Amino acid sequence: MNLKSNSTDLINVYKQTKVDEGNFIDTQSIFWDKRFKENNKFYNPDNLINFRKNQVLSEGLDDAPNLKNKFNLLQALDNFETDFLRKNLPEKNIGNCHHSVNFLGYWFDYGIIHHLKWYEKIQEYIKDDFFVLEIGGGFGSLSRIILKNKNVKYFMIDLPEANLITNYYLQSNFPEKKIFNYSNYKKSKLEESIKDFDIFILPPRILDKKDIKYDFIINTSSFMEMNKKIIQEYFDLIHNKIKKNGYFLNINRYMKSKVNEDIKFDEYPYDNLWNVEISEKSYLQNHVHFLLTKRQSDKGNIANELLVLKNSNYKWKSPLLEKLKNIYSYTRKGVWLIIKSILTLLFSKKKLKKLSSIIYNISEVD
């Protein structure tokens, strides 16, 4: 694949989407208004090829920088089966993330550790013939894992900037798969093209009036960055497009205040036709909840679960307390990283030997 030529083609798709963004620009919250304010950088092919390097394009969509200590990452791999890691860790550093760690031929970072654990929990619920819809999928890290394991039709809704890097990331990982993007949408009817494509990457509101139903719908870490009006719009879409006995995975913060209003997990506008399959704190993220629900034909137990969350101590009680929590967390992390750096200098050889033995089998061939 010619990276330069490919990135230029995808930037042309991005330009075409931006021309029509008046149809959906109001879905972009002030959180993303700030992130995408300087969008000229998205027109540079070199930036697209290196979209994760210093987060030149992936800022706000990429959790890799949240844990920079390599030993913490290596230790986290001990929480997975070796065969699972060998199958699901990427062998290429697409986007050239400078926070990713290469070990025994595989690349991983703090963000993908979460995505691996999320997939580990939902893999039994996703079948090969499913239609999957992901709303706000970042640059495509979780979708890469699902597509690597399941033969599904994968639909993605996001803003043009996110769709640009998702297009590049998934095309680079799956050159054999056919991706239907906004350029295809302008030339062809979506419903008639489903049989000929594997992945569908489109801006908001296109799927609302399409006669397509989904077996599994996903939102991770993006509802919390939308205002309540747009969240309601997406929940209407989910309620209208989910199949009977379909699943909805919602992974978001208990509370976040970045859009001039408090967005609380327990206030998401679920209707009462959902039954809880999994409800727990997200892996390594005490401020984030993992909720998997199944669509019912009659009343489910979702209201009770949301009430439990409302009365729990999981969420921050106010924006001020959330800020104080963040200050405390960053201060503690800074002190700990200093201590770990000192320990690393003193015990690096011994530690590397131990960690190598933990994940040595990742590189073995069956």
Select from 284, 50, 19 the least CA-distant residue to 160. Answer: 19
Supply the pLDDT for residue 285: 85
Q: Which of 44-48, 87-91, 253-257, 273-277 has the highest mean predicted lDDT (pLDDT)?
A: 273-277
| Arithmetic mean of pLDDT over the chain | 86
Higher pLDDT pick, 288 / 340: 288
Q: Supply the pLDDT for residue 325.
A: 59
The count of other CB atoms within 10 Å of the CB of residue 92 is 10
300-313: pLDDT as tens digits: 999 999 999 998 85
Residues in the chain: 366
d(CA 94, CA 108): 11
So what's the pLDDT on residue 69? Answer: 54
Higher-pLDDT residue of 350 and 293 is: 293
Q: Is the pLDDT of residue 92 over 60?
A: yes
Residue 36 pLDDT more than 90?
Answer: no
Residue 320: the pLDDT is 54
Fold observed for domain 3-35+112-320: Rossmann fold (3.40.50)
pTM of the full predicted structure? 0.84
Whether the per-residue pLDDT at 5 is higher than 80: the answer is no
> Cα-atom radius of gyration of the chain, to the nearest Å?
21
Of the pLDDT bands very low, low, confident and very high (cuts 50, 70, 90), residue 65 is confident
Return the residue matching tokens 């609302």.
Answer: 208
**222/286 Cα distance (integer angstroms):** 17
Residue 350, pLDDT > 70, answer no
The whole-number average pLDDT for the span 159-183 is 96
Who wins on pLDDT, 328 or 24? 24
For the chain, give every domain's residue range.
3-35+112-320
Q: Is the pLDDT of residue 261 over 80?
A: yes
pLDDT tens string 201-222: 999 999 998 999 999 999 999 9
Q: What is the pLDDT of residue 103?
A: 81
At residue 317, the pLDDT reads: 46
| pLDDT in the model for residue 341 | 65
Can you read off the two tokens belonging to residue 199?
A: 């992945």
Spatial CA neighbour of 221 closest among 114, 310, 309, 297: 114
> How many angstroms separate the CA atoms of 114 and 326, rounded?
20
pLDDT at 18 over 80: yes
Q: How confident is the model at residue 38 (pLDDT cuts 50, 70, 90)?
A: low
Q: What is the pLDDT of residue 352?
A: 47
